[in-house]
Amino acid sequence: MRTKPLSLTSLLAFVVCGLLLAAAPAFAQPELSIDDCAKCHEQQPAEVEEAGAKHKTDTDCLGCHTGHRPSSPNNIPECSMCHEGTPHYELANCMSCHNPHQPLRVVLQGDLKAECLTCHTEQNEELVANPSKHTDVACNLCHSDTHGNIPQCSECHESHAPTQTQQDCFICHDVHMPLVLEYPDTTPNIHCAACHQTAYDQLMASKTKHHDVACVACHATKHKTVPACSDCHDLPHAEGIHAKFPECGSCHNTGHDLNNFAK
Q: Is residue 67 part of a domain?
A: no
Contact 210, 216 (CB under 8 A): no
Q: Is residue 214 part of a domain?
A: yes
CB atoms within 10 A of CB 213: 15
Q: Is residue 254 part of a domain?
A: yes
Q: Is residue 46 part of a domain?
A: no
Which residues, other chains included, contact 258 with Cβ-Cβ below 8 Å and sequence gap of 6+? 206, 208, 210, 252
Q: What is the mean pLDDT of each run of 10 residues along the chain (263 residues)?
A: 59 61 57 88 95 96 90 90 93 93 92 93 95 95 90 92 91 94 92 93 93 94 90 92 91 85 52
The HSE-up count of residue 51 (CA atoms within 13 Å, CB side) is: 8
User: How much is the CA Rg of the chain, to the nearest whole Å?
Assistant: 38
Q: Is residue 55 part of a domain?
A: no
Q: Is residue 13 part of a domain?
A: no
Q: Is residue 35 part of a domain?
A: no
Predicted structure pTM score: 0.69
- Residue 263: which domain range? 181-263
Q: Is residue 196 part of a domain?
A: yes
Number of domains in the chain: 1
Query: How many Å from the N-terminal Cα to the C-terminal Cα in the chain?
Result: 150
Contact 116, 139 (CB under 8 A): yes
